[in-house]
Amino acid sequence: MPFNLQTFKTRALTSVVFVVVMLAGIFVNHWTFLLLFSVIHFGCWVEYQKLVALIDPGYATINKVHKYSVMLAGWGIMLWNTTAIYNLGSLKIFEAGKFLFLVMAGVLIVSALLSKPFKPKLLAHSFFGLIYISLSWALLINIYCQGIISGADFGWVIIILLIGSIWINDTMAYIVGSFIGKTPLSPVSPKKTWEGTIGGAALAIATVTIVSHLVFHGVNNLLIMFLSLIAVVMGTLGDLFESKLKRLANVKDSGSIMPGHGGFLDRFDSLLVATPFVWLYLYIVQHLL
């Protein structure tokens, strides 16, 4: 894949704006963090439903109750994974989230069952979306709230390490692949190469580990290295999975909100798949090691 300066400039400018918005959401306070990923959650759902409808035209026939109840059920899962830092007086957001999920999940199932004719496959598409999108963002919220990492008490530290690993890997893989990439990684994404993938991963892991050592004193470097490794490997698989969805739907991008980057799923495909595995890794580190 030859290096395209104009494409790189467009992607870079969009990335700067995007990074500013992301950092503001992460660092201002816990409410902006929840708001940021709530918006991302619904944006991903809109694009997911459009992609699935292109892959399986039957999904385009789901009624509005089905369409929006599954989104709200997913948001309920996110709120359910918050902790006491999101309490508003006597109102516990995690309890409200649990209630919202149960009600909306019930509405979703009843709506699907009452559809004529009932097509289990359409309901399965929506339940897969709950796992692929909503559960991933719920676990990211949980990571932020719990802040589970060796010696650190701030959830934002882990979030930055996770997102930073993926973003650095994405950027470095593009640059390395543009200059020396020759061997295609997968038919699903022919522009990706093994050289770019390996080079991007190595540079991302090294950068995140070194920066965390210099900035976050007392953090176990080996734990950070493995966290970054999991993030870049699973993030790459997440990228390939979303590319497969787009190929099946016969579209170039999942959306068009970010010039040079596409839509929400295009931008967060790696994070969606990497987050559950990073959460599991952190859980094992905290409870089993």
Looking at residue 184, what is its pLDDT?
87
List the single range of 12-16, 160-164, 196-200, 269-273 with lowest mean pLDDT: 12-16
Rounded percentage of the chain residues whose pLDDT exceeds 90: 68
Task: Give the residue ranges of DSSP H helices in the chain.
Answer: 5-27, 30-55, 64-80, 93-114, 120-129, 136-146, 155-180, 194-215, 221-249, 264-287
Inform me whether the pLDDT recorded for 149 exceeds 50: no
List the single range of 79-83, 167-171, 258-262 with lowest mean pLDDT: 258-262
Structural domain boundaries, residue 108: 5-287
Q: Domain tally for the chain?
A: 1
Inform me whether the pLDDT recorded for 186 exceeds 70: yes
Please, which pLDDT band fits residue 150 given cuts at 50, 70 and 90? Answer: very low
Please, which pLDDT band fits residue 260 given cuts at 50, 70 and 90? Answer: low
Q: Tell me: the pLDDT tens digits for 48-70?
A: 999 999 999 999 999 999 999 99
Nearest to 227, CA basis, from 204, 194, 197:
204
CA–CA separation, 282 and 103 (whole Å) = 31
Nearest to 11, CA basis, from 249, 193, 266:
266
Please, which pLDDT band fits residue 151 given cuts at 50, 70 and 90? Answer: very low
> 3-state DSSP call for residue 129?
helix
> 3-state DSSP call for residue 184?
strand
CA–CA separation, 238 and 233 (whole Å) = 9
List the single range of 143-147, 169-173, 222-226, 271-275 with lowest mean pLDDT: 143-147
Looking at residue 19, what is its pLDDT?
83
Take residue 69 and report the two structure tokens written for it: 């109840």
Q: Tell me: the pLDDT tens digits for 98-119?
A: 999 999 999 999 999 998 889 9
Please, which pLDDT band fits residue 219 given cuts at 50, 70 and 90? Answer: confident
